[in-house]
Each structure stands twice: as C-alpha cells, then as structure tokens.
Amino acid sequence: MKRFHDGNAPGQFNKRSRGPIEEGQVEIRVLIPSKVAGSIIGKGGANISRLRNDFNASVTVPDCPGPERILTIQAEMDNAMKVLNDVVPGLADYDSRGRPRGAPNNQGNGASSDQIDLRLLVHQSHAGCIIGKGGGKVKELREKTGARIKIYTNCCPQSTDRVVQLSGGAQTCCDCVKEILELLETQGSTKGVDTPYDPLNYDDYYAEEYGGFGVGGGQGYGPGGPPGAMGRNGPMGASRGFSGAPRDITARGIGGGRAPAGFGGYDNFGNGMVGDALQPAVANGGPQTSTSFSIPKDLAGAIIGKAGARIRRIRTDSGAGIIIDEPKDGSNDRLITITGLPHQVEMAHQMLQQSMAENSGPPPRY
C-alpha cells in the first residue's frame, strides 16, 4: 500500500526544510503514536488538507517507520488551538503506551476512554519555567486547567527536547497547552544548543525515561514533587547536529529555526543521545567550551566499547557531551568533539585518552 508522504519525497523520512515561524504565529509540536497519524492525515491526505485550509495553518506529520511521530502545527494562536482541538480526540483511542485501548493483552492504565494522553515537546531550557521555583508553576497549571502534568527529566534521543505529558479530557489538555504556550512566550529564545527530536532516533530501551511510546512509565516530574537536580544520572550522552539556531519564542511559539537531526540507529553508539550529560551546563547557562581531536577509525571501538558501554560511562562520569563523527570518504580518521563546562571537557578528554591506551591492544606488526 502506498504511503502518503506529508511534504517529503518518498523515503525522505522527517525531512526538515522549514525556517523560523512567522511573526504572530505559534508552533506546537506533539509526540504521537504512529497509529494516530492516519486519522490526522486522512485518506489520500484529505483530512490534513482540510485542517490546513479551514484554519490557515501549517500542519505536518512526517512519515516515520518507528512507533512514534511528531505532529507540528504552525498558525496564529487561535487557529493553532482549533487544529489541536480537532485532532486530539483521536488520542483517546490509545493508552499511555501508544496501544489501542481494549486491544488483546492490553491491561490498560486505569484511564477512561474519554481521557487523552498528550505529549508536548519543549526545549530543555524551557522546562524549568514550566516547573517553576519549587514546583510552584506546574502546580498552578494543574490547579488552573485540571490537567495532570508530568515533565520528563531526560531529553528525547539525540535531541534537546523534553516531553511534557498532559493527561485529562481533550479540552482540559488543550487549555493546558495554551497556558504553556503563553507562559513560554514570556521566556524569549531558547538557551544553549537546539536539536529538535527526530522520531527516527526512537530508542525503545530508554522510551520510559524520556516519555516515548512503546514502553510506558517514566521518571518524569510528577505530582510527588519537583525533580532532583540535573546531573550525571542518565545513560544518554550527546548527539550530532548541534548547529541548530536558538528557537525564537518572541514570535509566540515553541519552535522556530532548526537544524537536521542526525540519523542515529540503535547501534550508532558513537553518536549517542542528548540527555543529562549535557543538561547541567546548558540548563544552568554555564560557560560552554568545546574541543575536537582526531583518532584513527580503528581505535573508535576502544572508546565506544561493547554495546556502547565505555562511551556511556565516560559521558556519565564526566558530564560532557561527546560526539564521534563517522569517517569522511577516503579518510581513515574520525573526529571526536567534546562539549561542556571546562572541567567536564578536561575530564572527558583524559578518560578518552585512557580508554584508548587501555583497550587498543598491542601495536600492529609490520
């Protein structure tokens, strides 16, 4: 069966070519189960065309072979909210793990069928203003809208996006999204690097930690209290593509200028994921520094380790973001880039050198 590709050439999954959003518009990005995409797009793209025409909005759901996609809406505030109100009832057919309600072997999550699970994507530098000092702002949002709110502490794979999970009735969740948009409008542009989440980089193993579909659960910011201090507490490191420009919130939106996210398969351990290893310096606005050096491509395994174990440990222990680029055509070297606070970069560099010395094996014989 031929798939409807929303604005992309066949096979060009999740291609990004849009620039900054227009003045006076907002951008809403929602993480959705892939199975919901069909109802939003409609047969032959009929429904998504209707949404675009009726509400004068840009509405995209780029194709992706994985279990989740991103719904992106760009329009003036009122029209963007009308689009969101139109599409979110379809989320009620799926539980918090992205499984159809009432499906065989689905034990459910205790939520009634009229409740939806809406997962808003926000830049990690904006998560703090949603939480507020001592959790005060998120408590205020809960009381004002009636929505249940969980803010996941880990970023989505290979990105600087965090999931804000909203649960409740469709109108309740939409009202909460509007409140969040208006709150973020006062915060200005994002801080630090900006790498929007690409669902091609979905990681089932860590889905419950960043709020992805397919596993469920999560260690987000729930009703029990504010999250712990950001630190070196996650298995996620850094990603490729940190050239994204800060997203422009002054244009009344969460989104804006963006750079392509790198394609990172499950075995692409050298490129890893963005997460807590990079969050302390970025979130706290610390003095970022970066250093790069080349290694023979044959030594990459000495750094990465089995199933990426060594590189994850180095990222976790140092708190730095580490990127290992693929070798360029005709080159026998791979470029390593370390990003973070000065002491994090220094520590990571020392650990990388030590790992190569200890695991590279005896020198070759000639």
Contact 315, 277 (CB under 8 A): yes
Residue 201: the pLDDT is 86
Rounded mean pLDDT of the chain?
74
pLDDT (tens digit per residue) in 160-205: 999 999 999 999 999 999 999 999 988 877 888 888 999 988 887 7
Q: Rounded distance, CA 5 to CA 122, Å? A: 25
- 0.85 exceeded by pTM: no
Comparing CA positions, the residue from 33, 25, 32, 29 lying closest to residue 55 is 25
Residue 96: the pLDDT is 55
Share of the chain above pLDDT 90, in %: 33
Token pair of 339, please?
């990003």
Residue 97: which pLDDT band, with cuts at 50, 70 and 90? low
Name the more confident of 51 and 226. Answer: 51
Comparing CA positions, the residue from 153, 149, 163 lying closest to residue 120 is 163
Contact 70, 62 (CB under 8 A): yes
pLDDT (tens digit per residue) in 65-80: 889 999 999 999 999 9
Name the more confident of 214 and 239. Answer: 214
Residue 264 has pLDDT above 80, yes or no: no
What's the rounded mean pLDDT across residues 86-109?
63
